[in-house]
Structure 1
């Protein structure tokens, strides 16, 4: 999903003072002052893999859509003109990853869409949420009501012990499985909880009224299995999980086929169309994309960063869009785009890093297997 720094003065999160009190180093990010780390990125990364990490992702946009007289079906049908996934088929409490598409099929954002039983809910990336809202208002019918829930904070509890930690506070939420969600009550505070996340680990995202966010965060970290985790570890975890970051691995110039996100194209709609960019996407599906998003494993310990050039022999065949050192695997990994002829798994390539050509090979993603809970 996405985040980019902005040039305007950053806003403060509802938990700003709480983060600082817990030793966070704050940085401008996606228009907010955000915690990048507390005790260190690698330590926080490893803790989340082994226990449970609490992330503040309140910079993201929490939106809801409703049709006339609260008609959910009308809102879902209207949204389907802008995304390639089936929304109208979602049952209450079910969610889906999808893509907000420009009229030419370029990716404007990647997002989660949920049928809450009361409305269609969207969680969009923080760096482009205002652009998303403007785009939705422009392209949705006038009788669809869009609400931006700026009074809600969003916390993500991720890791193998997240279910037990959250179960201490909200026992019923432990019954959720991956990509399901529901309304819950915690000591009189209404919560919307989904079993999903951006780390590749099992976990939850919790929407809570902003004025109760500190109380909830404090209750969660009272559990010895839970520590606050910054954006640095969130990025290394999502890279290991092979999850793209909007504004880096996904942009408006890239279509879903090139991005290797065809799973987000509902099969029923690939032929039927009815959404932005269907002709371009259909053509890429039938003819093949000129480039493809790939994973790379590099030799040595020097990581490739965004913008590093990828070579096959003396010919540049692509560019790195995300890269770093994998704490879990103990070597550098990267994500990028290469010409389709060089996208085969195990293809030998080189990456230009600090005036050196480093050997690399195309690797299957995710680099670290997902551990989502889909039911016993």
Structure 2
């Protein structure tokens, strides 16, 4: 009994827990129990297979098939590039910058005669054109088109007009579009003249269709000087000397209006006179066809050509000549200052002061006196 008491006391002391220790033991026991129960439950849970969506997927495919026939806002459809409206063009499946270029081209008076003309638009490439080419529909010229109807409906053309005098408003009233009117007025501003109705065909943008429409209404009034020449039946053929003619005489020449007459006189003053009728081709903007039509009616008096006194002329006087530039003038004056007066005109070329082509043009104007 003596041995038993100490052992019990020892056991009691060994297993004697504080309140804090007892709480920890209780919590640990609960956790162990929960793990055991969870392990048992998980082993008996039946994992179900995923939901079967095959029926829903079939229904979705059927709905998409029914709606595939609904056209998108942007699509391809048959259109005439000459008449399609901006609104319809916006629905066409092509880049926006190509649409803008098409409208700008039409606004400037451009027309598409065949589908391949659309390929020439700025920004149009082969891939875009191959996509829309089957949808381009341009009626033939002999078929009634929307454009012709729009031009023919507004006003019945009556009266006459002179293409040498009519203003922009009058020309528009007779059926010309703004692009054609602009080109016609620019031609007149450059000195162009219309002596017969067919001359209108020379204007860029005026084709046989518009010419046939306006031809019955063209009335080109004869100039007073032309009437006077016609009345002088006994007078010799018209001959004009370029170095003494004034503007009134020059405009008597076929195709020479007030603008070209003024340019001819100004260039004559810069040159010091014409030594050859071919120098008219050097006048700014002067048409070759006009020169060919009047060359039999003009001549030059070379005695009236003003000479350049190369041993006395100063820098400004030499530089004003159209055949010389600043490099030429400085070379001539520096040579003269270092070597004294020129003895002959050929000395200018032999000294390498100007090139051969310039010397040949300038020679009729040079003198060493």
TM-score grouping bracket, smaller chain normalisation: under 0.3
More strand by share: 1
More helix by share: 2
Larger radius of gyration: 2
Report the TM-score when normalising by structure 2: 0.24
Report the TM-score when normalising by structure 1: 0.24
Of structures 1 and 2, the one with the larger relative CO (CA 8 A, separation 6+) is 1
